[in-house]
A and B are shown apart, each in its own frame.
Chain A
């Protein structure tokens, strides 16, 4: 169990550019989640997948955001035409769906700075 990994750990971009982040979940975890955390706030849910299916999207996920999990393993989160308000820590979590309580395990996050 190597834990949830995210790449890159830091990304600095200029306003208007596109960025893509990658998340590798714990192997055999079938659920994968994306959250956004801004300074001084708790994480806010963006979207989640069960295997390759995107099951829920938050209203926070604007049209400029898209997430994929093509083979049910790693996932990517793309932000198009970045804005300064997109600056945040983007967290990925994974869990193994079982009857009863799931536990979400979080990665270290990707910190995005939009200049």
Chain B
């Protein structure tokens, strides 16, 4: 069965600093991987996804993530944090091409310090 581990329930960075949110997964088949963001009182919004092919995936709002099979990781990065990036971020894995139920991590709350 697939699983996702997000290291750090809370991450705090200064505005303008690098954002790094960690995600490690476990899957018995080549996974499809997703990052979603959740703002307060809103639904989840897709930031980016990895399916096949290029391992560096670019998403919305300047975020990107790199699939590293050898490390079973899919860490999310952004070169320069903005105050508007403060939110909850979830990593998710699918063994069915995204067509099955996604397995989510517990989330990382990103705090941006002015």
Contacts and interface: CB of A to CB of B under 8 A. Distances in A.
Interface of A: 4, 31, 33, 35, 40-48, 56, 58, 91, 93, 95, 97, 100-109
A48 B94 CA distance: 14
A62 B68 CA distance: 37
Nearest to A57: B101
A112 B32 CA distance: 31
Given A43-B44, A91-B44, A107-B43, A102 B107 contact: no
Interface residues of B, number: 25
A103 B101 contact: no
Interface stretch (B11-19, B45-53, B72-80): B45-53
Residue of B46, B49, B102 with most chain A CB atoms under a 10 A cut-off: B102
Interface of B: 4, 9, 32, 36, 41-46, 49, 51, 90, 92, 97-107
Contacts, number: 64
A100 B51 contact: yes
Given A101-B32, A101-B51, A103-B49, A42 B105 contact: yes
Contact of B100 (A42, A46, A56): A56
Residue of B45, B104, B105 with most chain A CB atoms under a 10 A cut-off: B104
B107 A42 contact: yes
Residue of A42, A58, A106 with most chain B CB atoms under a 10 A cut-off: A42
B85 to A, nearest CB: 19
Contacts of B42: 108
A41 B106 contact: yes
B43 A33 contact: no
A48 B100 contact: yes
